[in-house]
Structures are given as C-alpha cells and as structure tokens.
Amino acid sequence: MNKNKILIVEDDKDTVRAMAVRFRSKGFQIVVANDAVSAISTARKEKPDLIVLDLGLPGGDGFVVMQRLKANYDLMLVPIIVVSARDPMLNEQRALDAGAEAFLQKPFDADELFAAIQKALLKSGQEISGN
C-alpha cells in the first residue's frame, strides 16, 4: 500500500522531530522543508499528498508560500494545514481564505492535527494510509 506523503514546512527542529515521529507512527511518509524557499522546491520535487505549514519561516512568510503553492498547477490542489504560534485572531481566517484546510495553534494537540489531516485527505479524494 502506498503511504501518504506529508511535507512538513517548519523551521523549529524540535517541532519537526515531534511531528515526524508521530506521523511515521501513523503510517505516513515524511519530507521536510525548513524555510520558505525550500518549501516550494521540495513540494515540486516530492509531490506531497498534504502539507503542514508554519507561518513564521526564514526566507519568507507562510502566506507567501501558500500563495505560490496555490498558483502552481501541479500543487494547487494539495491540502494545506497551517500550524502556527501566530495569533489565531489575526491569522486563522486569513489562512483559511488563502486556501488552508485548517488552522491549528501551537502548541497543537496531536489528535486534533491527525483529525485535520484525515479530513483534508478524505476531502481531496485520497485514500488514507495512516491509521
């Protein structure tokens, strides 16, 4: 069975490590980008099934990354879940308007994140390899 591939776009190494361990334990394949510039190139190269995106990134804002992903024909339908420490009062609706499937505040609840991932994958018509 093919594993769903998740691209984690996050500059905090501890957060990446925690997400990667949890995602792999659920059967997902993981790829990582640590800044805005590599996020786009990694997404183009790896063709992920879903992207977990931080908003505060070196090399550019997460909103710019989202805009570029949504403007790319090959990536525009890839679901994006924003996980950010930024103020949700200012950023949640903006992220959803920009095309995110969900906005989760850091520190995030792992079960809530998995529920958002499953919902986004199902909505995009993909089978889910994670359990």
- Domain ranges, ordered by start, for the chain: 5-48+55-123
Ranking 1-5, 6-10, 41-45, 117-121 by mean pLDDT, the lowest is 1-5
Asked whether 96 and 70 are in contact (CB, 8 A), the reply is no
Q: Which of 57, 9, 14, 13 is nearest to 31 (CA)?
A: 9
Is 60 exceeded by the pLDDT of residue 2? no
Cα–Cα distance measured from residue 114 to residue 120, given in angstroms and rounded to the nearest whole number: 10
Separation between Cα atoms, residue 13 and residue 4, nearest integer Å: 22
pLDDT at 127 exceeding the cut of 80? no
Spatial separation of the C-alpha atoms in residues 23 and 16, rounded to whole Å: 10
What does DSSP say about strands 29-33 and 5-9: parallel, antiparallel, or unpaired?
parallel
C-alpha to C-alpha distance for 125 and 73, rounded to whole angstroms: 18
Range 5-48+55-123 classified under CATH 3.40.50.2300:
yes
Q: Which pLDDT belongs to residue 129?
A: 65
The residue with tokens 């879940």 is 81
Q: Tell me, what's the pLDDT at 131?
A: 53
98-117 pLDDT tens trace:
999 999 999 989 999 999 99
pLDDT at 128 over 80: no
What single letter denotes the amino acid at residue 104? L
Residue 65 tokens, joined? 């990354």
pLDDT value of residue 1 = 43
Instruction: Tell me the average pLDDT across 42-49.
Output: 97
pLDDT tens digit sequence for 49-98: 999 999 999 998 999 999 999 999 999 999 999 999 999 999 999 999 99
